[in-house]
Amino acid sequence: MSRFDLSEKAAIVTGANTGIGQAIAVGLAEAGASIVAVGRSPMDETEALCRRHGTGFLAVHADLRTIEPIERIMRSTEERFGRVDILVNNAGIIRRADALDFTEADWDAVIDVNLKSAFFLAQAAGRRMIDSGRGGKIVNVASLLSFQGGIRVASYTASKSGLAGLTRLLANEWAAKGVNVNAIAPGYIVSNNTAALIADPKRSAEILARIPAGRWGEPQDIGGAAVFLASPAADFVHGVILPVDGGWLAR
């Protein structure tokens, strides 16, 4: 059996309706996992792409601006697939404004989705993984701004830096209990969150000039890293923040 085989595994992927989340869900399905796709909008396209690989699929409508849906997400997964093996915390939002003008509302909105809900999802999944005795894999989607400051995205930078710290903390607490907690730090990926940057010719050109690979990333570029971190091939990988950035941080 391949060390990357995820057959018989059930994977929860938040923000799976488009972009990076959709690409991760499809990648995990291609490796054999059944997918629980969580998001606020319809999952029809994600479901069609995942089902091409013959795996189970469940869409769960949930708004992660609060932690209210978390137990429902876990129960729905267990009722359909009998287990929770993999959690990918991908759901995230961004707000842009100069730090001098940043509002409390934009601060709270981003922190609630990107950091607070991610932690409590990991807590709920971790409990089940540990209690079952099977362990599991938790993959957080961090950012280059887990390493750098960025500009005009105060709450996003704070949330992604915090998520990197939580990844390490949970790895410290849960590694010996059979739960691997790691993160992916995508570089500049074509997605809804980067649409404003792509639409700005000056900023887009500046970004592209610094990427050694010579292109913006595509959501599918993140899928392979997610499969690796969710698979038995990564059983001895704990607390890593893995950049998938075309070489941006090496520049």
Range 25-29 contact pairs with CB under 8 angstroms and sequence separation of 24 or more: 25/49, 25/50, 25/88, 26/50, 26/53, 26/223, 27/220, 27/222, 27/223, 27/224, 27/226, 27/227, 28/86, 28/88, 28/223, 28/226, 28/227, 28/230, 29/53, 29/55, 29/57
Exactly one of 57, 81, 156, 174 is catalytic; which is it? 156
| Residue the block writes with tokens 């488009």 | 18
CB 67 within 8 A of CB 117: yes
DSSP state of 194: G
- ∠ at Cα 21 (20, 27), nearest 5°? 90
Annotated catalytic residue 156? yes
Tokens of 224: 């392979």
CA distance 16 to 39: 6
Q: Provide the annotated active-site residues.
A: 156
